[in-house]
Amino acid sequence: MTMVAILSGAGISTDSGIPDYRGPHGVWTRDPAAEKLATYEHYMADADIRRRAWRVRLDGPVLRAEPNAAHRAVAALDRTPGVAVRVLTQNVDGLHQIAGLPGRKVLELHGSARSVVCTGCHARSSMAAALDRVRAGEDDPKCPECGGILKSATVMFGQRLDPVVLGEAMGIAKAAEVFIAVGTSLKVQPAASLAGVAAEHGARLIIVNAEPTPYDALADEIVREPIGTALPALLERLR
């Protein structure tokens, strides 16, 4: 059994209509102020930022997005005899699972935009239900359980990654025989360090990304072609 670990970033989902954040045409590149919407301190302290964040979620592409060829290729690799696939994703869109990869094989390092969580009592509920409340006129919906501030169940700037999830991801990186970093700038820590951990433990490191990354020097192979065609071709070769 060959263990293939795939670290996926925003670039794998751009073909699904979800823009990346830090690329040349990324959300935060074009509008640096938008980063405040994803910063815990600003979000908690400023009701205007929360109201803007809810409007962005309402109009955002994530819940409408469908998996693309790259997501489907990862799911197909998982169905290949003799290959064990684990996905460590920096994305919050849930598209790997919708494409058919079992949820137990996906570690969402930065959480999920398909759920909301109360910052007070930590109750979780669906994003779709919260957005229905916004459409009905609540511009900053509160937790129905305790009245606390609701946020998407994603890891914002200023919040720590779940140490259990990060520990599992480190274990997968150390055990992988092939480690593919796809569509990620490899600049956001600690997720980016997984590529280095995998290389240090003997994995064949393959980087599929349009721009250079800090880990290129460690890579056995670098692919600069568009992800929607390059990743399916690469995974077919692995199969």
Q: Which residues are catalytic?
A: 110
Which tokens belong to 100? Answer: 């058919």
Q: How far does the chain reach from its first CA to its final CA, in angstroms?
A: 12
Residue 186 Rama label (left phi>0; alpha psi -120 to 50; beta):
left
- Please, are residues 219 and 206 in contact by the beta-carbon 8 Å criterion? yes
Residue type, 136: A
